[in-house]
Structure 1
């Protein structure tokens, strides 16, 4: 597995075009590989996420079984003469993760649930739009994903529901087309920042390489870690 980071030159028209649509960026990401990667037996797949730390500091993070070549992105949306991208060996890091470890994390996800207005209708996916439901979406998945979000000490809680080391930010409703003739695709994305403890190292490794939730082709599901 590989972890790659690429910085966009947001002053360039090409960067703004690529960042304008998850569909365009998905195509650019998949063009980084000579052959289209297929999910492995362990669930490993291509995952990506855009972090907008500021208007001028926008990064693409990419986790992939194969090593990518982002030359085309550098030429269109980066610094062709002075900048590039960094790819790191992710497998060694994953192998060192252990139950009980604590980490800071960031995850951009598509929090959805299934609804049905009556028994005669099929269920359909609907986005969670409230902060409470978006928070609960993650908390309900943490056990199967091999981690738990850390709880705050009582003296640091600002409200009855402020129990966890978890911040929800960068909530977006995206709308884009896959082609000029297609219907618009609407997507709600949320970025979670917080602290976690690993409860099942094997399950957690699967989460990091296979993603969490839906809309993985459009920049959702990738969780990255940093020292807590």
Structure 2
């Protein structure tokens, strides 16, 4: 199974681009990206095609990273949406081996889910977003489960990913995923786990720009 990485550089002059990137609303962007894949793909097309994405702030403006296990049809983007390019990640994934030092980046939604007794005692919601040292501890556990041993870690709180969706009563429910970006270096301990987490993503909110784990060989300091 091939894994594809697509970089889209949106053109801010395009009306549809501006709408997709407006504020922190992630629903429009999710629908845009899913439109690049075959229709009628079952109950969970995002999972079927392994779609994960992250919006990156760069000195040249926002860039969109899209990862998938099916090559996206970039011709489905509006003609003036911006520039785009897809490439397979097979060579990178095939080169992974235990002991290799890599750089990583992941914008994820770190949370904990307290038990019913704890929720009642402290009047907590079912899902509690984590920040600061608690978020870093969460990431360290996730990295271990992804076949990585972190060597360095820098975390940066991001704006929450927000969207809406209809519910069974016919009204609209608000969706909010707190986000933290984790950057650093790590040593690979298990290549199979790492490949699986790269394709599956990490944590909650994968349809809203969370969970894409990006890696690259660490730069040599010698």
Structure 1-normalised TM-score? Answer: 0.80
Shift of 1:215: 0.8
Counterparts in 2 of 1:120 and 1:216: CA distance versus 1, 3 Å: closer
8 Å CA contact 2:9–2:64 kept in 1: the answer is: yes
Shift of 1:68: 0.2
Which of 53, 58, 62 aligns to 2:58? It is: 53
Q: 1:163-178 residue pairs with structure 2 within 5 A?
A: 165-178=152-165
SS of 1:92 mapped into structure 2: helix
Distance in 2 (CA, whole Å) between partners of 1:175 and 1:29 is 16
Which runs of 5 or more residues in structure 1 are unaligned? 79-83, 151-164
Tell me the residue number matched to 1:126: 128
Tell me the residue number matched to 2:173: 183
Which of 193, 206, 221 aligns to 2:211? It is: 221
Deviations 1:14-34 (A, max 9, x none): 222101321111111111012
Deviations 1:44-63 (A, max 9, x none): 72111111124x42111111
Distance in 2 (CA, whole Å) between partners of 1:224 and 1:175 is 22
Tell me the residue number matched to 2:112: 113
User: What is the aligned residue count?
Assistant: 204
Counterparts in 2 of 1:145 and 1:223: CA distance versus 1, 3 Å: same
Distance in 2 (CA, whole Å) between partners of 1:13 and 1:48 is 21
Does residue 204 (structure 1) correspond to residue 206 (structure 2)? The answer is no
Distance in 1 (CA, whole Å) between partners of 2:163 and 2:31 is 14
Tell me the residue number matched to 1:146: 147
Distance in 2 (CA, whole Å) between partners of 1:140 and 1:3 is 26
Deviations 1:170-217 (A, max 9, x none): 521233323694122122111111111111011111111111111111
Which of 68, 73, 85 aligns to 1:69? It is: 73
Does residue 99 (structure 1) correspond to residue 98 (structure 2)? The answer is yes
Distance in 1 (CA, whole Å) between partners of 2:68 and 2:74 is 13
Deviations 1:69-115 (A, max 9, x none): 1334353532xxxxx31111122321221111111111110111102
8 Å CA contact 2:34–2:46 kept in 1: the answer is: no
8 Å CA contact 1:10–1:58 kept in 2: the answer is: no
